[in-house]
């Protein structure tokens, strides 16, 4: 199957998920499937996805304002991260800052109106997880330590988690051909990867999906990008695994990157974005270490 030429001028490097659901039609279909709503093609959508301009990275996966009334944040993850509530709080704070920027009424007595937030995680990892779950910010708080304060929460944020693996949330999948197709595609890649190289597994999954009519138009248009994105995502996971073995203290999860503690100097921190940008360029982990001045031997202690 001849693959169409990938758009090599894409300014921001996405994942297959964000590429697929970054299209308004697919995003509306996804949201309608999750919430069992019926927003039509005339629905106003304003994308509010946060980006790191310096490193040309997405900070969060997808966020958008729906008809000026709802601000929806959707994260796609292959592992359940208990820190998602605090991360979502950070994201929504930045989004609200952008939405009200220049609005002088914020200093007036009358309260301004802001879009109501919804926080959603779509999970498709290998670990078992129920169809639905909830992660709460209040579960992350330290104990108050004051008499009568136990259980008192003045700030709450709830993240709804949906398992989108094949066979889960069948009603949701039935409401979105695109979401169902995405689940099938990921499932096929995983199954084929048990028997062949990852590159061959991705190629075969793409070919099989196109032949079956699963995500046919999307895969025909973006086959090269999809293949490269999947390979890059798998490569990230391998590099992260190697980094753990070498003792790099790594809290990076699904694209989040803050700082890495290394052993060259006690307490020295190098931004993860610098490291992962070099890895993504094709440089080996050993070459990255050399470039950044790592000394021979183990790095900082592996987190306990």
- What whole-number distance in Å separates Cα of residue 69 and Cα of residue 46? 11
Tell me which residues of the chain have a pLDDT lower than 50. Answer: 1-13, 145, 148, 238-271, 295-304
Stated length of the chain:
304
Residue 250: name the closest of 300, 191, 192, 182 by CA: 300
CB atoms within 10 A of CB 200: 12
Give the model's pLDDT for residue 182.
94
Farthest-apart Cα atoms in the chain, separation: 69
pLDDT of 42-59, one tens digit each?
999 999 988 775 555 678
Query: Domain segments of the chain: what residues?
Result: 10-145+152-175, 247-304
Give the model's pLDDT for residue 28.
96
* Cα distances (Å, whole numbers) of residue 200 to 97, 208, 214, 219: 45, 12, 18, 16
SS (H, E, C) 113-181: CCCEEEEEEEECCCCCCCCEEEEEHHHHCCCCCCCCCCCCCCCCCEEEEEECCCCCCHHHHHCCHHHHH
pTM of the model: 0.72
The two three-digit tokens of residue 210, written as one number: 């196109």
The two three-digit tokens of residue 103, written as one number: 């609005």
294 — alpha (psi -120 to 50), left (phi > 0) or beta? beta
CA atoms within 13 A on the CB side of 45: 22
Phi, psi of 62 (to 5 degrees): -145, 130
Give the model's pLDDT for residue 115.
93
Helix (H) or strand (E) holding 201: helix 198-212
Give the model's pLDDT for residue 58.
73
Place of tokens 């990008």: 225
The two three-digit tokens of residue 14, written as one number: 């996405």
CA atoms within 13 A on the CB side of 267: 0
What one-character-per-residue DSSP string does 233-270 give? HHHHHHHHHHHHHHT-B----TT----EE-SSSTT-EE
Give the model's pLDDT for residue 70.
92
């Amino acid at each position: 199957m001849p693959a169409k030429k990938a758009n090599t001028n894409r300014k921001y490097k996405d994942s297959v998920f964000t590429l697929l659901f970054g299209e308004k039609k697919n995003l509306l279909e996804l949201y309608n499937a999750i919430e069992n709503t019926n927003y039509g093609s005339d629905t106003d959508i304003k994308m509010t996805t946060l980006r790191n301009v310096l490193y040309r990275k997405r900070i969060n996966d997808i966020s958008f304002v729906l008809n000026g009334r709802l601000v929806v944040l959707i994260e796609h993850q292959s592992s359940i991260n208990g820190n998602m509530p605090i991360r979502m709080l950070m994201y929504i704070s930045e989004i609200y800052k952008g939405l009200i920027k220049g609005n002088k009424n914020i200093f007036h007595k009358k309260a301004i109106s802001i879009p109501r937030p919804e926080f959603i995680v779509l999970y498709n990892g290998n670990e078992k997880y129920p169809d639905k779950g909830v992660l709460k910010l209040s579960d992350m708080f330290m104990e108050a330590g004051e008499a009568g304060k136990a259980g008192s929460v003045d700030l709450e944020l709830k993240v709804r988690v949906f398992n989108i693996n094949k066979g889960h949330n069948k009603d949701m999948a039935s409401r979105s051909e695109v979401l169902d197709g995405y689940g099938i595609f990921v499932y096929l890649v995983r199954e084929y990867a048990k028997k062949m190289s990852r590159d061959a597994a991705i190629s075969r999954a793409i070919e099989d999906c196109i032949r079956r009519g699963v995500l046919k138009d999307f895969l025909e248009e973006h086959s090269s990008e999809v293949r490269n994105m999947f390979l890059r995502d798998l490569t990230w996971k391998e590099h992260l695994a190697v980094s753990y073995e070498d003792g790099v203290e790594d809290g990076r999860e699904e694209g989040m990157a803050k700082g890495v503690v290394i052993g060259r100097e006690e307490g020295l921190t190098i931004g993860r974005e610098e490291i992962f940008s070099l890895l993504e360029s094709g440089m080996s982990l050993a070459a990255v270490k050399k470039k950044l001045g790592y000394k021979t031997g183990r790095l900082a202690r592996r987190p306990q």
